[in-house]
Structure 1
């Protein structure tokens, strides 16, 4: 596949989370498998080649052209150069879903992707097979891809891309996201779209604190960090220091200081993932660091709480010590149980049904246990709060085990008919 990016009119387009719209298009192409054979980028006559902030983008087969000709003439030249090769037409003045190129590449017929917002003229054009309808439409001298796309759809010569043709399920986010395509013509519009992208990158099933309490803090941090081009791995590293640093403090009785560090880490745990996805800087090492920390630190936190509450003097044979051992064992069992479902269905357990997604918001996880213990400790009921958390972990483990057993029984009995129900995706409105 050949890709043509019209960047002639994109000089003044605002940045989105520190990246130009051209860079965002190129990241989408970088993620394609197989990669495009050619990526031709049209710049204004005499314009300097823009500097791309991510070296990985230079691995694409980039070709820079400079032209003062009209849009129709330049696209006509690309059609002639493409011949029978499929051609993807992008506009560097639009914000396009990075998943679209990979979704369009396997198609054998031409299609026009229009913005899902009726008042937005943005479009992406995929030309495969017969070029005649596009060549005919170019005779009317359309000003840009949006005008050409709308002209082709209105004439009935090229069909519009349908929502149901797009597989929007995002495994990492445990939710389904429809594709997006927007024109970005001013700073106010860019700011609104940043909000849209920010909320689109929240997981479909997550805990109450991550969903409702932390977002304002995460929003305040993600924007500046993206503009400063801070790699999310550095944010993860700070989170690791805070998460592990709180453990000896709690064990030694410094609970308030430990709480401050723990909540700082909890916020950063949301920041690094959002930053990585919004700036295309996610990496294998970053995922291992982030998810490895999430797996390891909670039981160590629980043990340090119990130790600081009295195990140091009462011993591990005391009720407090036995509770600490119990929650450690229950946590490990719970994590092992949750590994079963993804091995079969290739998706997270809490996407199986709406009920499972709802339960995920308040089950025994770090962001639920930490506030419970904090409140209990501050009102002088630290021990009681700890034993409540042990009981809640036991209930959570029992639910996951029983629910997994039930799902697998249904799958075994109705293997052909069974289909997991995705957590419903809510459409994020720009206003």
Structure 2
């Protein structure tokens, strides 16, 4: 089975003034559903995200346009679709068996190559002499800047028997490689099942984000009233859904500019308000910070803003995420004073009956992390004198 799709990202690869964008067409179908959608629909969404403008049934008519051909009995990492769309005159083959699975070819070769993809398990020698034959590693980089990790692009044969393994691999591929300890080690298994449920019942990422926003406000109110355990329950569910919405958007290819603003806007704004509410709620719970309440709130806000500024400075100064420079930097991201690690401190202390001590420990940790990040910046400044610094993940 083959999909042939057009992408205006290829348009004008060699002659931008005269080369029209390629057309799109599909051949055959695969009934196996990935995250609640057919393989054909997944391919359509992948290509739309990378400039595809048309999808039609392949009728053998090239209409003078180049084609991107994709078999529906294979699952492609999106980066492969994106990069193949930029490489006219290319056939993509499976690394293990050298089986042809996709191609980007000119109009006069589309019918021949489509037939080959449908019927052949090897690229004919004569065709290999005319077109580049690449495996995934040759076509695309294994370093994903957006997700901050090194990972070989996946290319998997889609069968009913392989579906659970494929969806597990796709979900793992949607995860950031450098993140906090809870997101990296606690949430993946339950989040995969909840993400699949949301995809099957048609719950959109923005809907999940909206539920999380309501829980975020509920946690804020509960903290301010001194109801710490119920507030922590609401807060932890919100952080879990914060993992689910992003993964749902990635595996279903439904991310949007508004969704990204909605999700990241909430993530960026709410943490210091939570910590302020926690301090405010101590009096309602019959506790204090021993007269340091105002100082605590100042440290919370200054520390939060400073950490964001430190990360922003590092990124702008060195064109590199602070947490992907060295292995230590990635490790420290697991525990640095961001929302989830801070919640761990507060939760443990509250379970022991001392939310006041939990807040005190969190404040100490905020100050300590500020010092570590300053040291990272200073070390990067010194290292950059010898030349540009790069991520160990992209080596």
TM norm. shorter chain > 0.5 = yes
Equivalent in 160, 171, 182 of residue 198 of structure 1: 171
Alignment of structure 1 residues 12-411 onto 2, 5 Å: 12-32=30-50, 35-36=51-52, 60-65=53-58, 74=60, 78=62, 81-82=63-64, 86-107=66-87, 110-116=89-95, 118=96, 121=99, 123-128=101-106, 131=109, 142=116, 144=118, 147=120, 149-152=122-125, 158-162=131-135, 163-186=137-160, 188-310=161-283, 318-411=291-384
CA RMSD of aligned residues (A): 3.0
- CA 1:21–1:420 in structure 2 vs 1: closer, same or farther (change >3 Å)? same
CA displacement, residues 28-48 of structure 1 (integer Å, 9 cap, x when unaligned): 22122xx35xxxxxxxxxxxx
- CA 1:319–1:178 in structure 2 vs 1: closer, same or farther (change >3 Å)? same
What number of residue pairs does the alignment pair up?
374
Structure 2 residue aligned with 1:56? none
Residue 101 of structure 1: CA displacement?
Answer: 3.2
Q: Distance in 2 between matches of 1:161 and 1:383?
A: 60
Structure 2 portions without partners, runs of 5+: 1-20
CA displacement, residues 366-410 of structure 1 (integer Å, 9 cap, x when unaligned): 111112111111112322222111111111112122212332343
Q: Distance in 2 between matches of 1:261 and 1:173?
A: 27
Structure 1 portions without partners, runs of 5+: 37-59, 67-73, 426-431
Identify which of structures 1 and 2 has the higher relative contact order when contacts are C-alpha pairs closer than 8 Å and 6+ apart: 1
TM-score (norm 1): 0.78
CA displacement, residues 107-127 of structure 1 (integer Å, 9 cap, x when unaligned): 35x3221224x2584611222
TM-score (norm 2): 0.84
CA displacement, residues 282-336 of structure 1 (integer Å, 9 cap, x when unaligned): 1111111211111111111111222222389888991244223212211111111
CA displacement, residues 248-268 of structure 1 (integer Å, 9 cap, x when unaligned): 211212111101101110100
- CA 1:120–1:165 in structure 2 vs 1: closer, same or farther (change >3 Å)? closer
Q: Distance in 1 between matches of 2:97 and 2:360?
A: 56
Whether contact under 8 Å (1:171, 1:348) holds in the other structure is: no
Q: Distance in 1 between matches of 2:159 and 2:221?
A: 52
Q: Distance in 2 between matches of 1:357 and 1:152?
A: 46
Whether contact under 8 Å (2:205, 2:246) holds in the other structure is: yes
Residue 273 of structure 1: CA displacement?
Answer: 0.2
Q: Distance in 2 between matches of 1:369 and 1:201?
A: 24
- CA 1:383–1:152 in structure 2 vs 1: closer, same or farther (change >3 Å)? farther
